[in-house]
Amino acid sequence: MPMTTMSDPYRTQISELAECIAAGQEAIDLGYLAGASKAFFLAHLVDVLKRPLVVITPAPSEAEALVHDLAFFLASAQARPQIVLLPSEGYSPYEPASSASDLTAQRLLALRAMLQSGPQIVVTTPEAIMPYVLPRALLQHTGRDLTPSMTIERQELVECLLRCGYHQVDLVEEWGDFAVRGGIIDLFPAHLPRPVRLEFIGDEIESVREFDLASQRSSKALDQLRVVPLREFIADLPSWSTLEQRGSAAQLDLARLRDIFECLERFVFPPGVERLLPLFCESLESFFDYLPPDAVLVLDEPAVIDAKFEEFASAVDEGYRQALVRNDLVAPPAARFLAQPLVTECLQACQCVMLHTLAEDLQDDQETAILTGHALGSFQGRWDALVQLIATRLQEDYTVVLTAASETQARHIQDLLREAELASEVLPSPPAFLTGIGSATSPTTNGTPPPTSSSRVLICIGSLSSGFVLPSAHLMCADAAEVWGTRRRRDHRRRPSARARLFNYRDLNPGDHIVHLDYGIGIYPVPRSSR
């Protein structure tokens, strides 16, 4: 695999920063990285520190872009750290709705990943870390890891799936479905792209295989299947007397609370029931309780993040007020969300690296390490200008990395560069960007450094959120979308199922016809006397 060799100034900057962190410096301000250069820097930082990084970005779109860029720069790493996205709940505070099953599964997977030791990068947003979450001890022992030859009673597995929020159906069609047919259990975990079939002989799992929804034929065999909860209501329910006491203390309508309690006893999860989570699980913990003890917190644009915390705190207060106007059953904000002063206190207790894009974000007396990365900008319709810039950078001993959506596009770019008398090399995957930094510079068996690419213009299959120029690393990266325009990317996430779309009380209007599971056709709202 061709490798890129970083320049001495960049290596020195990363090493000095790592030494400051290792020495216990509590807060480090770093400017001025822009675009994908932030991911490039973080990839090297986690490689040198060999410690977890927890990155807070201002918005979900920026978090997703950072995860995408990190995957690109770490694709060829010898010991690739885990990259985890912790998304927000996906709805406004106190909205009478529940997160989509894939979002909940992803949140719980990310929280479980934070309990593991070793280097990893967790990327999240302010609104994702404000809600209280399940206790660590409970989450660690929730769900199941299923393997071939494992022995488990099928009825025990069925109860586990129901408790985790799965729906028992006749035929698996959507995320969160499972079906039991004799010695076969089909299920569709929300974190997997395809459903899985478990074949039993007695109580022993004979095989674990993916299968196709259309043909129902089994395909790829799996060594392990992790059953991830689709709901946060995974704790054993308290007794009604205990819940009644908590509801009375919160001055809630006990009759309506009893209705919700009975639904949960039947593994039915009404929309927005998470708003009552503190009543059903009194020992909730915060995001900061999940932080690994040796984690380094990275704040991407601290000034913007502070504003986002204030904005979310205002949304919590307004959402709670609206919920009371609607006469919803909800827990008070102090029991469901972290208060902003507490968040600030927790952030100050962490070892932080703060990334600033603009000098205006810094105070006059604030000392800052300078690691300047410029956004490349769009070259759409200006191929000749990009070629000229590449030639200039090559004269300055830069390495130039161009990304392409396909091998066909990569070969086309190579032909265009050849016409401009610029030699280039096409790579099937990103080069090894971590060469020459920290312990990533591993010698070959004869003790010599690993070989680098013969060309300093590399065209690789992949994509970046944006191009950049990092002078201290003598590196320039450009994405094909910045030259030929952005292709409309298909959203591979499934749309909410029909069940999810209809199972929302806010979509119902007085007088609408509904079908009750037990009593048949009726008109909404149903009088309490006829329930």
Q: How far apart are CA 99 and CA 273, in angstroms?
A: 10
Q: How far apart are CA 274 and CA 182, in angstroms?
A: 34
Of 227, 257, 292, the position where a domain reaches its end is 227
The reply to whether 307 and 337 lie within a common domain is: yes
pLDDT attached to residue 295: 93
Q: Is the pLDDT of residue 441 over 60?
A: no
Structurally, the chain folds into a number of domains equal to: 3
The structure tokens listed for 465 are 């959120």
pLDDT attached to residue 505: 52
Q: How far apart are CA 40 and CA 402, in angstroms?
A: 15
Question: Which range has highest mean pLDDT (9-23, 90-104, 397-411)?
Answer: 397-411
Tell me the pLDDT tens digit for each residue of 31-49. 778 889 999 999 999 999 9
Task: Label residues 124-151 b or e (16+ Cβ within 10 Å = b).
Answer: bbbbbbbbbbbeeebbeebbbebebeee
Instruction: Give the mean model confidence (pLDDT) for residues 50-58.
Output: 95
Of 340, 370, 400, the position where a domain reaches its end is 370
Q: Is the pLDDT of residue 52 over 80?
A: yes
Instruction: Give the mean model confidence (pLDDT) for residues 481-486.
Output: 78
The reply to whether 18 and 127 lie within a common domain is: yes
Q: 156 with 200: CB under 8 angstroms?
A: no
- The answer to whether position 395 is within a domain reads no
Of 355, 370, 385, the position where a domain reaches its end is 370
Q: How far apart are CA 225 and CA 202, in angstroms?
A: 19
* Average pLDDT of the residues of the chain: 83
Which one has a higher pLDDT value, 478 or 235? 478
Q: How far apart are CA 201 and CA 459, in angstroms?
A: 51
Q: Is the pLDDT of residue 439 over 80?
A: no
Contacts for 391 with CB less than 8 Å, ≥ 6 apart: 420, 422
pLDDT band at 300 (very low <50, low <70, confident <90, very high): very high
The reply to whether 193 and 221 lie within a common domain is: yes
pLDDT attached to residue 96: 87
Domain encompassing residue 522: 498-530
Phi and psi at residue 187, in whole multiples of 5°?
A: -150, 155
Strand partners, 36: none
pLDDT attached to residue 4: 53
Count of other CB atoms within 10 angstroms of residue 67: 19
Strand partners, 19: none
Please report, rounded to a whole number, the percentage of residues in the chain having pLDDT higher than 90. 43
The reply to whether 177 and 209 lie within a common domain is: yes
**Ranges 163-172, 460-469, 505-514: which has the least confidence:** 505-514
The reply to whether 153 and 217 lie within a common domain is: yes
Which one has a higher pLDDT value, 521 or 89? 89
- The answer to whether position 46 is within a domain reads yes
**Ranges 344-348, 363-367, 437-441: which has the least confidence:** 437-441
pLDDT attached to residue 445: 35
The reply to whether 127 and 163 lie within a common domain is: no
The reply to whether 125 and 183 lie within a common domain is: no
pLDDT attached to residue 518: 63
Instruction: Give the mean model confidence (pLDDT) for residues 250-275.
Output: 89
- The answer to whether position 479 is within a domain reads no
Q: Is the pTM of this model over 0.75?
A: yes
- The answer to whether position 517 is within a domain reads yes
Residue 213 one-letter amino acid: L
Q: Which CATH number do you get for residue 334?
A: 3.40.50.11180
pLDDT attached to residue 227: 85
Q: How far apart are CA 520 and CA 140, in angstroms?
A: 40
The reply to whether 68 and 104 lie within a common domain is: yes
Instruction: Give the mean model confidence (pLDDT) for residues 45-62.
Output: 93
The structure tokens listed for 473 are 């690393």
The reply to whether 147 and 128 lie within a common domain is: no
Q: Is the pLDDT of residue 459 over 90?
A: yes
